[in-house]
Structure 1
Amino acid sequence: MCQLLGMNSFKPARLDFSLAGFLRRGGETDEHADGWGAACFTDRGCELLIDEGASATSVAAEHFQREHCPVRNVLVHIRKATQGAVSRQNCHPFVRQLWGRDWAFAHNGNLERDKLAVPQLFQPAGETDSEQAFCLICDALVQHFGAEAPTHEALHALLSETADRIAQAGTFNFMLSNGEILFARCATELHYVQRAWPFGRARLLDCEREIEFAQYNNLDDRMIIVATRPLTDEAWQAIPQGRLMAFMQGQMLAI
């Protein structure tokens, strides 16, 4: 299956250290070589970069790791195709607009499409079960809340209910963000770590690289990193199976 990486930060930050290990899993240290993509939320909205090549050898991936601008929210996905051709159209993340904001979604798992409802308001452009599930989430949000954006608590409750219903069709690990809040749902495997004061040292598991975070951060910096599997030797926390967690401003929301 695929793998996921997300960041939610209190202040604009770069993800290049985590990317240095994660992108190698796309064909070098792991088998997820059927495309990759990244959704970065800037002041202009969501900037989407996708590539059907393996991230471990992609020139675009190397450039993205080296040159992407500091942001507060990022979703990154490396794909091992289970449904749909290896093509740009089927690469995650997928993006739709709700309540005047871009929403980005990336999925890890496999859903039986004949067990999924047919989206009504939002239609998939590609062939994947993942995009169909995202469209069903968007349908549910609009049908329930209408034209007015809900509170974080109401949004979390409906997302959790909708995700549980979709998960009856198979494995449904996913990340979803609107540039302010990052949702992460674990079905089988998903982990997170917070990087905040007092900052320590970390070593990547997929390549020979380490960092002393205190050299690059201020006392009030903090961020959450979410990944399918831990990327470093830090004390990652497993998200409980079946739980939808929410992160904002670099910390977990108590909802």
Structure 2
Amino acid sequence: MCELLAMSANVPTDICFSFSGLLQRGGRTGPHKDGWGITFYERNGCRTFKDPQPSFNSPIAHLVQDYPIQSCAVVSHIRQANRSKVALENTHPFTRELWGRNWTYAHNGQLKGYRQFKTGTFRPVGQTDSEYAFCWLLHQLSVKYPRTPSHWAAIFRYIAQLADQLRQKGVFNMLLSDGRFVMAYCSNNLCWITCRAPFGKATLLDQDVEIDFQQQTTPDDVVTVIATQPLTTNETWNKIAPGEFALFHFGERLVLG
């Protein structure tokens, strides 16, 4: 299985610490050696770095790790290939435009019957079940909401219903973001942690690295990190129940009524 990582924050924040922990699982402390990628949202756009090489020794990954890009929403993925070849086009995360916004998606799991998905104008570039599922999901959204919607709670409830359908075809852990919202849907493994004042120290599970967040933040900062498995040893992470989702808006978790 692959591993996922995302961040939602109320102020532009770098994800270097958490990303450093994820990188080690890409071929050093974990088997996810078949590529990695990360997307940062900045103002009205986003930029993505991808490499089909193992993340733990990828020069591009270390460039990103050492280059503290500030963002309010980040989606990242390290891959353990199953059906499709190791190639750039099969490397997550994937991004498509819908309603004038860039939507970024990453998936952990395996799905059956995915080539039967009707994707409309959202055509897959690679061969992964993940990208097919993403294109199908966006197609379903565009059919139900042909114009830019205004009721975002309804949108994400509908996305959760679509994710329920995909989960019936296998394991479907998903991260999805438009730069404002970050959604995490759990099939079996996803957890999250929200950090706010008073900030303390954290130690990575996969690397002997400690950080004092109090030196890196202000009292008003709110930062949520989502991951397949906890990345730190001394913090309490919240697990998302199978079949449930968590939605974050600039660091804060939203409860949809």
TM bucket normalised to smaller: over 0.9
Query: 1:222 is matched with which residue?
Result: 222
CA contact (8 A) 2:175 2:185 kept: yes
1:226 CA displacement: 0.1
Change (3 A) 1:243 1:4: same
CA contact (8 A) 1:38 1:50 kept: yes
CA contact (8 A) 2:114 2:133 kept: no
User: What secondary structure does 1:56 align onto?
Assistant: helix
Residue 154 in 1 paired to residue 151 in 2? no
2:227 partner letter: A
TM-score, normalization by structure 1? 0.97
Q: Which moved more, 1:41-50 or 1:181-190?
A: 41-50
2:172 partner letter: F
Residue 248 in 1 paired to residue 246 in 2? no
2:176 partner letter: L
Partners of 1:114 and 1:97 in 2: CA distance: 21
CA contact (8 A) 1:96 1:103 kept: yes
| 1:93-122 Cα deviation digits (max 9, x unpaired) | 000001111000000000013575231231
Unpaired segments of 5 or more residues in structure 1?
Answer: none
1:145 CA displacement: 0.8
Partners of 2:160 and 2:125 in 1: CA distance: 25
Query: 2:179 is matched with which residue?
Result: 179
User: What secondary structure does 1:49 align onto?
Assistant: strand
Unpaired segments of 5 or more residues in structure 2?
Answer: none
Let me know the Cα RMSD of the aligned residues.
Answer: 1.1
CA contact (8 A) 1:116 1:169 kept: no
* Count of aligned residue pairs for this structure pair: 255
> What's the % identity of the aligned pairs?
38
User: What secondary structure does 2:84 align onto?
Assistant: coil
CA contact (8 A) 1:115 1:169 kept: no
TM-score, normalization by structure 2? 0.97
User: What secondary structure does 2:55 align onto?
Assistant: coil
| 1:127-177 Cα deviation digits (max 9, x unpaired) | 000000000110111000112224221111110111111111100001000
CA contact (8 A) 1:123 1:135 kept: yes
Query: 2:29 is matched with which residue?
Result: 29
List aligned pairs for 1:185-224, cutoff 5 A.
185-224=185-224
